[in-house]
Structure 1
Amino acid sequence: MTLASNWTRLARFVGRNGAIRLGQPVDPKVDVGLAVAAGEPVEVFVVEGDIYTGMVTAERDVIQQLLSPISRDECNLIRCLGLNFKKHAEEAKMPFPNEPVMFVKPRTALAGPGELVVSRAAQDDQLDFETELALVIGRDARDVSEADAMDYVLGATCANDVSVRKHQLANSQWCFGKGFDGSCPLGPVLVRASALDPDALEFRGELSGETVQASNTNDMIFSCARAVAHLSQGTTLERGSVILMGTPSGIGWAREPRRIIRDGEEMRIWFEDVGTLVNTFKYE
């Protein structure tokens, strides 16, 4: 029995029998990330098929463990915008860019909610957080216009652009210090792009209960559509590609004194109409 031909909010998870599945929360009001982090059962309607074409069915399951909305196998590359929030550019004392500034993370950086193991190479008083909105491309996009760009976006979710600052700033290219394994946790819920306005979302990041970042995506220098259109020029954004839209002011490295992520600390990233990504950082 089919309940709907389309989904609105989708989680990738480990179900009752240990299988990895896709599902839409039965209660659309539940914040899946907070509920699972608190040990509360979250019931979902199962999605048959894949994340791109699946149908929500009457079969139900219960989330045992949350995963990133897309797997490493589905994602070929993570493209990230730097200096895309006005107040962040101001705190960095850098001029607003004339076009989107991009760096990349490898797909091995993808992680889901839950515990994140931090490499010893990232522990030298340098592990920083960046609260960000992530877009997932739903079909191959090349040379698309700004007017059509969002038609190629499958959905949006929460992200943390975890940054190893000393490695990042030791080189003119940011990719190494931004690309450690597990440095791009996503999730837990992917919201269909047509179900929200990604350029007008309230959001915040909390580290061990302290609000460290709070803003609205209307402070972005380049909109989501502009970013997708620009990044597709002469380049194929393959289905499953991820785009991180940049971070607002309040990063730990810009604070006095600096505020880094310590062993055992919990980071919560909340976006309006999306939900909360919860990660606990565990030093090796």
Structure 2
Amino acid sequence: MKLATLRLPRRTAAARIDGDHAVEIGRPDVGALLADPEWREVAAAADGPWHPLSTADLAPVVPRPGKIICVGLNYRTHILEMGRELPEYPTVFAKFAESLIGPYDDIVLPAVSQVMDWEAELAVIVGTTARNVTPEQATACIAGYSVLNDVTARDYQTRTLQWLQGKTFEATTPFGPYLVTPDEVAGTPMTVECAVDGEVMQQADAGDLVFSPAQLIAYLSEILTLRPGDVIATGTPGGVGHARKPPRYLADGSKVVTRVSGVGELVNTARRHG
């Protein structure tokens, strides 16, 4: 099953994707849907108004998650090729909901930074409350997967040892287009890819993650309670602009395509503001 949040006149609506159409579920967004313990049954049975997917205006799939937790240094091959040791524990930081944009919205390049960088990521959306769960139990806590680009202001990120200020600029983080339930991608490789102006910059198999989605949920649930609609961005592979020689960053008009095979694709244009 695939779910999305539609932008409609004066409201939003959670929808199930049926072929070329989006079918309203009767909830204001996917986050609100996930708050219902019977969300799978509700979504599967819904038969609300239909909308052509070709003209649908999609919001971030979960517009206002209670938590957005991101993971750094999580692709095994990239870590080893840089001569680093594999981490013992996940490196985690946060973003805020104000940073999120829809899957086809413009990425805002803020006036205060000239070094905005791309970071393609597989996103995990939590479907049930999780506290002190094991990795085996954590698998059942995954509502589904989505695509996220953790666009980063590298200069603000490196101003201090804490990364948050470079990671959560407003209207910089495309997220969506869908929540894809685990059964839809079971047994198939998920390739994470980012192309900028038609050139593939990042490409890696999500199977190369040091800490899997279930391991991340288990670890984070030791720290705090994860709730339905919370989002975990699992990390980005090699190929970011900041590491290139010479470095390369997003410019006004840059087209950024972020995809995870079997999950979906984001298509965004960077626009300079101010």
TM above 0.5, yes or no, is yes
Q: Does the residue aligned with 1:221 lie in a helix, a strand or coil?
A: coil
Quote how far apart the aligned CAs of 1:58 are: 5.6
| Further displaced range: 200-209 or 82-91 | 82-91
Q: What are the equivalent positions in structure 2 for 1:38-187 lying under 5 Å apart? A: 42-49=20-27, 50-52=32-34, 53=39, 54-55=42-43, 56-57=46-47, 59-62=49-52, 63-72=55-64, 75-90=65-80, 92-113=82-103, 114-122=105-113, 124=114, 126-187=115-176
Deviations 1:32-58 (CA, angstroms, capped at 9, x unpaired): xxxxxxxxxx52222223432243316
After superposition, the CA RMSD in angstroms is 1.9
After TM superposition, the runs of 4+ consecutive aligned structure 1 residues lying more than 4 A away are: none
Quote how far apart the aligned CAs of 1:109 are: 1.6
Contact 1:131/1:213 (8 A) holds in 2: yes
* Change in 2 beyond 3 A, CA 1:183/1:58: closer
Distance (Å, rounded) in 1 between the aligned partners of 2:264 and 2:204:
15
Contact 2:121/2:233 (8 A) holds in 1: yes
Q: Does the residue aligned with 1:120 lie in a helix, a strand or coil?
A: coil
Distance (Å, rounded) in 1 between the aligned partners of 2:230 and 2:26:
22
* Change in 2 beyond 3 A, CA 1:281/1:224: same
Deviations 1:43-77 (CA, angstroms, capped at 9, x unpaired): 222222343224331631234311100112xx122
Which residue identity lines up with residue 49 of structure 2 in the other structure? E
* Change in 2 beyond 3 A, CA 1:275/1:66: same
Aligned match of 1:261 = 250
Counterpart pick for 2:5 among 7, 12, 34: 12
Q: Which runs of 5+ in 1 are unaligned?
A: 1-7, 28-41
Q: Does the residue aligned with 1:259 lie in a helix, a strand or coil?
A: coil
Q: Which runs of 5+ in 2 are unaligned?
A: none
Contact 1:199/1:218 (8 A) holds in 2: no
Q: Does the residue aligned with 1:99 lie in a helix, a strand or coil?
A: coil
Q: What is the number of residues matched between the two proteins?
A: 258
More helix per residue: 1 or 2? 2
Q: Does the residue aligned with 2:61 lie in a helix, a strand or coil?
A: coil
Contact 2:127/2:228 (8 A) holds in 1: yes
Distance (Å, rounded) in 1 between the aligned partners of 2:47 and 2:129:
27
TM-score with structure 1 length normalisation?
Answer: 0.85
Distance (Å, rounded) in 2 between the aligned partners of 1:48 and 1:198:
31
Aligned match of 2:259 = 270
Quote how far apart the aligned CAs of 1:182 are: 2.1
Contact 2:26/2:48 (8 A) holds in 1: no
Aligned match of 1:39 = none
Distance (Å, rounded) in 1 between the aligned partners of 2:166 and 2:255:
21
Aligned match of 1:249 = 238
Quote how far apart the aligned CAs of 1:173 are: 0.9
Aligned match of 1:5 = none
Q: Does the residue aligned with 2:63 lie in a helix, a strand or coil?
A: coil
Q: What are the equivalent positions in structure 2 for 1:220-239 lying under 5 Å apart? A: 220-239=209-228
Q: Does the residue aligned with 1:57 lie in a helix, a strand or coil?
A: coil
Quote how far apart the aligned CAs of 1:92 are: 4.7
